[in-house]
Structure 1
């Protein structure tokens, strides 16, 4: 039974790290766990979604802190400047795409920097992350 907690905890950590500024491979971990058939797909998807969403919220928080310390957007990397411009232009629903590799983290950061409505942003981020993991789970069930 301890193995279950350890493996599910490992998935949570992998998903969390994958959604911060550090790279990770939570999709591969999720796919392996589902393909192995040791865990209900629903549990694996929920754990990965929660971990990944909390990681995104952490990146969001970094955006909020950066905006306070560095209010001039020109101090940001080119990737973050592009994300800021996109979120400004297209609005809060761009956060649905925070699951995308490379640009997803920058979108979360931009959402925090721009101080978009927090609860609404969290829900949109959660929906995007859940959708991605649900599709991966469906492919490996």
Structure 2
């Protein structure tokens, strides 16, 4: 159950909803859960949550002219320019707070091939959780 909860928290944390999978991961690690299974659960959940963002990005342009749409046309254009400037490799940083979620969504807006998106996002998120676990284990 703990691994599923971490998966779910990681998934939610990668979407537009505020959540922190890192704190739960550290708590579960300290309770003695298997580090490899925690790493897999967090990485898989967080990566799949980013895939939802990519999919939403694919659909985003359909609604950008609606009054309720939360992002202005100029903000969207700026985000696209920044993504194109730094390229697909910036997805390795999709785990970063604040910029990570919009980054994965813009990749969808720009119709980045899903296979490349998935590979880069998974690598970035897997490395983040691996470093977090290794640091935590050195302190526990």
TM-score (norm 2): 0.87
Kept after mapping to 2: 8 A contact 1:84/1:107 = no
Mapping 1:39-58, distance limit 5 Å? 39-58=33-52
Equivalent position to 1:75, from 65, 72, 76: 72
What is the aligned length? 132
* Equivalent in the alignment of 1:15: 10
How far does the alpha carbon of each residue in 1:122-141 deviate from its partner, in whole angstroms, 9 at most, with x for none? 00000000011001101112
Equivalent residue, structure 2, for 1:65? 59
The alignment's C-alpha RMSD in Å is: 1.8
More helix by share: 1
Is the 1:17–1:52 contact (alpha carbons within 8 Å) kept by the matching residues of 2?
yes
Deviation at 1:81, TM superposition (A): 4.7
Q: CA distance change for structure 1 residues 43 and 116 in 2, over 3 Å: closer, same or farther?
A: same
Unpaired segments of 5 or more residues in structure 2? 66-70
Helix, strand or coil for the counterpart of 1:99? coil
Moved more, 80-89 or 48-57: 80-89
Q: SS in structure 2 opposite 1:126?
A: helix
In the alignment, structure 1 residue 135 sits paired with structure 2 residue 137: no
